[in-house]
Amino acid sequence: MPARRHSALLFKLAVNGDGTSQQTIVDELRRVILDGGVPPGTSIPVGDVAELFGVSAIPVRESLKTLSAEGLVQHQPNVGYTVAQLTAGELAEMYIVRETLESAAADSGGEPRHDADRAHVVEVHRLLEVAVRQDDPQTYTGRAVNSTSASPGHPHASPHAHARISLEHNRTRPAMVHVETADRARLHQDHQVMLDAFTSRDVDRLLAAATVHHHNLNRVSRPFPQVAASSSPIDS
């Protein structure tokens, strides 16, 4: 019998003993990857994940196919599933896509329609400020992604636009977790400028601030170093 492979990802997964749905597996694998706690190239052994969740290999494979479609997981013959690796060029391309999508959303829906919209965005920014001060990159990046619909510039974008912007945020999130503390604080200052423009209904200033922000994102973000992938076949 071949030796059991040990993956750092397995130790990060939280398992609920009350029964596990495929959606739960997808959500938990996604959470671990997006938290940046496991580097690109980390193996995702299907059998071990299935055993951990108390399910067959089928829902695990289906979950990994979903994450592959989101760009978070890669599959290679005779190697199996691994956490996806972004090259510097791919990361730069994703920021171009984000800038295009978010600028279009800001141009079409950058003005808050209700006081509640402004209050919600201000509260999200306050929570992000707390994470910056506590030097908590996982919480900061997670809130930034999860609050996409409340971000200055696209609170009223279409559901399709929201979904696409969230997807691009997710794909760049692992790299953002490892941004230097000072750079994260600088990016948050960009958010403050964008927030001021949003709450004052100044769409032109919001667009200009978003352009500066994406330039800064591209400057400070670097791909997370990849771990060496095992060449031994695994269940795939």
Integer angstrom CA distances of residue 71 from 14, 33, 56, 68, 144: 22, 11, 24, 5, 19
> For residue 14, what pLDDT is reported?
87
* Interval 77-104: pLDDT, tens: 888 999 988 777 777 776 677 667 666 6
pTM: 0.65
Alpha-carbon gap, residue 76 to 41, rounded angstroms: 11
* Interval 166-193: pLDDT, tens: 666 677 777 777 778 888 888 888 888 8
* Interval 211-227: pLDDT, tens: 888 788 777 776 666 55
DSSP state of 48: H
Residue reference for tokens 């989101």: 70
Residue reference for tokens 């423009």: 197
* Interval 28-43: pLDDT, tens: 999 888 887 788 889 9
